[in-house]
Amino acid sequence: MEIKVAQKQVDQWIKTHGVRYFNELTNTVLLMEEVGELSRIMARRYGEQSEKESDKGKELGEEMADILFVLICLANQCGVDLEDALQKSLEKKTERDKDRHKQNPKLRP
């Protein structure tokens, strides 16, 4: 799915099922909450903590999609074209980091 399409679909979902967008501050807090849920699972599944029984059935993709949904809501509310913003970010990173990672001995196999 293209990002522009995702932004339109989320907007339509909000208008159809969500009544209206939560305000930007509420959505920012919800985004942090969703990132925290993913972080907890990652720390316990791949880190050194033991995984709680309640987290064992959680799908990483679902948690990441929850983050993406709220991020798209914020982008829609703030008038951000995420597809354009991502393209600009990739161009910036390519220019800034074009040789940096290749020269990092810590990243060599």
- State the Cα–Cα distance between residues 18 and 91, nearest whole angstrom: 35
Q: Please give the DSSP secondary-structure letter assigned to residue 16.
A: I
For residue 60, the Cα-to-chain-centroid distance in whole angstroms is 12
Q: In whole angstroms, give the CA distance from residue 85 to residue 4.
A: 11
- pLDDT on residue 55: 83
CA pair distance 92, 33, nearest whole angstrom:
29
- Contact status, residue 6 vs residue 72, Cβ threshold 8 Å: yes
Taking only the tens place, the pLDDT of each residue in 54-85 is 888 899 999 999 999 999 999 999 999 999 99
pLDDT tens per residue, range 27-64: 999 999 999 999 999 999 999 989 888 888 899 999 99
| For range 1-21, the mean pLDDT | 97
Q: What is the band of 109 on the pLDDT scale with cuts at 50, 70, 90? A: confident
Do residues 96 and 41 lie in contact, with contact meaning Cβ atoms separated by under 8 Å? Answer: no
Own/partner pairs for 14-20, CB < 8 Å, 24+ apart?
Answer: 14/73, 14/76
Give CA–CA dist 92/68, Å, rounded.
22
Domains and their CATH numbers in the chain = 3-81 (1.10.287.1080)
pTM of the predicted model, to two decimals?
A: 0.89
83-93 pLDDT per residue, tens: 999 999 999 99
Task: Kindly state the DSSP code that residue 58 receives in the 8-state scheme.
Answer: -
* pLDDT at residue 2, rounded to an integer: 96
